[in-house]
Amino acid sequence: MPKKILLVDDDMLMHMLYRPHLERAGFELISVKNGREALETAVREAPCLILMDIMMPETDGLTALRELKKDDATKSIPVIIITANLGAAATSRKESASSGAASFLTKPLSPAQLIDEIRRLLPA
């Protein structure tokens, strides 16, 4: 049974870009477009890892990350924060780490880099 990964990004291009690579690497990808959906889906689907964009409508990624880490059902799920906002990357990296993110990556990000980071965080 493939390990579930929850991808949270309001840019549907990211879902289309990463889906075939993650599935080929043996993962099942669940896609949602904002932090509110991420919170609901993480509880329902229990993914083994979450990929979370920061800048999203309704609930941003850092707010969703903090909520995930407060909930007993989701606090142990590793979260990789991914952002394209390079201007705020240093601040976001610190805030991500203090909020419980397992990793922080910046776009553009190759599928190979993403898969390498996922494999680093998930035991075989």
For the stretch 16-29, pLDDT in tens is: 999 999 999 999 99
Angle, helices 61-70/89-99, rounded to nearest 10 degrees: 10
Range scoring the smallest mean pLDDT among 26-30, 36-40, 52-56 = 52-56
For residue 31, give Cα distances in angstroms to 9, 12, 40, 66, 99.
8, 9, 12, 20, 22
pLDDT digits (tens, 9 = 90+) for 78-95: 999 998 876 666 778 899
**pLDDT value at residue 88:** 65
**pLDDT value at residue 85:** 73
- Mean predicted lDDT score pLDDT of the chain: 92
Residue 59, burial from CB neighbour count under 10 angstroms (0-12, 13-18, 19+): middle
What CATH architecture does domain 3-121 belong to? 3-Layer(aba) Sandwich (3.40)
Give CA–CA dist 14/45, Å, rounded. Answer: 20
Give CA–CA dist 55/63, Å, rounded. Answer: 10
31 confidence band (pLDDT: 50, 70, 90): very high
Give CA–CA dist 24/101, Å, rounded. Answer: 25
Domain ranges in the chain?
3-121
- Side-chain-facing half-sphere of 28: CA atoms under 13 Å: 9
